[in-house]
Structure 1
Amino acid sequence: MSTDNMNTALATDTATSEVIRPKISDYRRHLLICTGPRCAPDGAAQDLFDSLGAKFKAAGLNDGELRVKRSRVGCFAACKGGPVMCVQPDGTWYYNVTPAHMDRIITEHLVGGQPVQELVFHQGPTGG
């Protein structure tokens, strides 16, 4: 098939197929957790991420006004002191997020609205 024929075929396929818009439920905050191998090589970050469903449900963060969305990222380029986590839109960056630290972050920051300052290594422009 010539390049012109391939371009025409691609244009036709694209023009005839409908793109479905994704849907996401409303949320108040978005947690981004680095699960890359340099951040927490022992798998602690993935374990932390996997624990969040139950922790959010217990704290009332799985739905409603305080709902928190969570996502894994491959690398923040902040590769020391992991697991590393960022809370958006607050711009609050946490390090050494152990399960016990996560419990404090949930209670004090995500529910109570106050970042856990001794675990914060960077505060973005929104100020928390």
Structure 2
Amino acid sequence: MNKIRIFTTYLLIILFAGVTIAAEQEEVAKPKAKLHDPAEFQKVIDEYKDYVAKIPPEIREEIITYRKEIAKINKHKKILYTKLSQASQNYLKKEQQYKKKLPMNRKNLISIDPQTTDTQKDSK
């Protein structure tokens, strides 16, 4: 009797795993909705307009102010970047390429200080 329960449980686990994998593959296989149909495109626009109409004016003003401040910051960042030497700009580009390759939790190990070693970091 115990062997039958174990076997049944085993089959249920395999079945559940198969269904889960199949569902995940369907989600991956589905392309993102592209709005090629003008009617669908207009429907999304109308839904967005309805949503925005429900937003209180003070929130809209706050968002507008936020976006203006972000635009100022981005403009300032561009100005600072253009003031860098070409070698520094190239370094930043290369560093970004390496950071994209690393896992998120390991990026804090990157240091440009050549005197800092891993053993010194561990002792801190």
Shorter-chain-normalised TM-score: which range? under 0.3
TM-score (norm 2): 0.23
Query: Which of the pair has the greater relative contact order for Cα pairs under 8 Å at 6+ separation?
Result: 1
Give the greater-gyration-radius structure (CA). 2
TM-score (norm 1): 0.22
